[in-house]
Amino acid sequence: MLSGKIRGAMTDRNALMVLCTSRHGAAQIIRARLEDEGIPSALSYESASIVYGLTIDGLGEVRILVPEAYYEQAKAVLADSVDVENGEAESPPQ
């Protein structure tokens, strides 16, 4: 199930994972970047990872989801601003 505030017509059926990271703070920044570009997004994660700080067996993963119609646009935005190897938001070029 999707967690967080969902904008637009995103459902469990049409949501695609655009990126996965192990850091909740980084996921929030990435989500804000997408929404800044007009791309609806949501975070999906196990609440135990937040409550108990568990990061084993994928419990620490935070998935950034976008509606299928915005997937390619989201990938293009993230290509310029996110290190896709570790899911970290990079500083925008000056």
Does residue 4 lie within any of the structural domains? no
Strands (E), 3-94: 15-21, 42-45, 62-67, 82-83, 88-89
Q: Is residue 94 part of a domain?
A: no
What range defines the domain where residue 73 resides? Answer: 15-85
Residue 39's pLDDT is 94
CATH number of the domain to which 68 belongs: 3.30.70
pTM of the model: 0.72
Of residues 62 and 49, which shows the higher confidence score?
62
Mean pLDDT of 26-43: 93
Cα 26 → chain centroid: 9
pLDDT in tens, 56-93: 666 678 899 999 999 999 999 998 777 655 555 554 44
Instruction: Please tell me the total count of domains within the chain.
Output: 1
AA identity, residue 11: T
What is the percent of the chain with per-residue pLDDT over 70, rounded to a whole number?
A: 62
pLDDT exceeds 50 at position 4: no
